[in-house]
Amino acid sequence: MSVQFSEQEHGFQAIRFDGRRLQLLDQRRLPAEELWLEVDSADEAARAIADLVVRGAPAIGITAAYAAVLAARQRGADQAGWQADMSRLEQARPTAVNLSWAVNRMRRQVAEAGCLDPEALAELAVTIHREDVAANRRMAALGSEVIEPGSGVLTHCNTGSLATGGIGTALGVIVAGVREGRIARVFADETRPWLQGSRLTAWELARAGVDARILVEGAAGALMASGQVQWVITGADRITARGDVANKIGTYNLAILARHHGLRFMVVAPASTLDPDLESGQDIAIEQRDPAEIWRAAGLESAPHGSGAWNPVFDITPGELVDVIVTEHGVFRPPFRFDQDQAA
């Protein structure tokens, strides 16, 4: 059971699975080098997720699904061992709800079958991947329709093919909007400290033939004041029942700036990112990463004498600062109710 998609139609594929081997494009090495890493076990997949070899909530979920297949092949009839593998996978990056969502789908398959069936799990993992590809295309179409022709947009972090199974979430909307003539100007934050914007988003947009300009985070307010952008478009790692959004650190800043400048704020994410059991974003566990990442981004081997650091990966944007949330099920506006019947 393998999965293949055309790049032109579905976006660049950063996850490869041929039924027995899982390969991940090492996003830490981009754009300087395109290096593929082979992942042989659930533990290796968990390390790849934690170490940012693969990142982006949908891509993390897809990777976990394929890792569940690898674990089943290695465990044989040992369901307890397989369940332990799933628990380690689930904890690799706890903020992204897509990770637990994918793992729980694999768990349900095993529970329903009553045994570890690698072929059935492989079929389900490929289905999860294909569903994300289709969702990406649907979101790109829905989101781009909302944008007025001639608009400028600003995006944050990386939300394209590297972060998903297909053309992307927010970046999918942007690419579709450019190709349809709706988006005239594209800007992307560099996204500290891992520089996902300047390393990954710039690389993806260039690959898609989209002209874009990168700016430092501190320039976002000045850009908005210049009148060059009308929309801020981001992805999400978790969305609560009332529309609070957990996303890459810095997203909250952009939402506040957008509201002050009269810009609109769009979040694009598959329905698997919704957490209907969670009402408030304040209840989302925010991952803290090694403070040394901040110093390394500045080219320093260690912290300056007497200095500490605070390095949260995500922040929470309250739903009242979000104008539009797009999933494959439709376009949602405040007050957010994520029932398909409520989609515009």
Active site residues: 237
Alpha-carbon distance values, 231 to 185, 256, 303 (Å): 10, 13, 37
**Burial per residue of 179-207, b for 16 or more beta-carbon CB atoms within 10 angstroms, e otherwise:** eeebbebbbbbbbbbbbbbbbbbbbbbee
Distance CA 239, CA 114 (A): 32
Question: Which 3 state secondary structure label does DSSP give 28?
Answer: coil
- Residue 285 tokens read as 């566990």
Q: How far is it, in rounded angstroms, from Cα 139 to Cα 331?
A: 9
Tokens 């002050």 label which residue? 260
Distances (CA, A) of 269 to 59, 169, 197, 288: 12, 6, 18, 22
CA distance 19 to 3: 8
Using the structure block, give the residue that is written with the tokens 């981004």. 297
H helix intervals, 283-342:
292-297
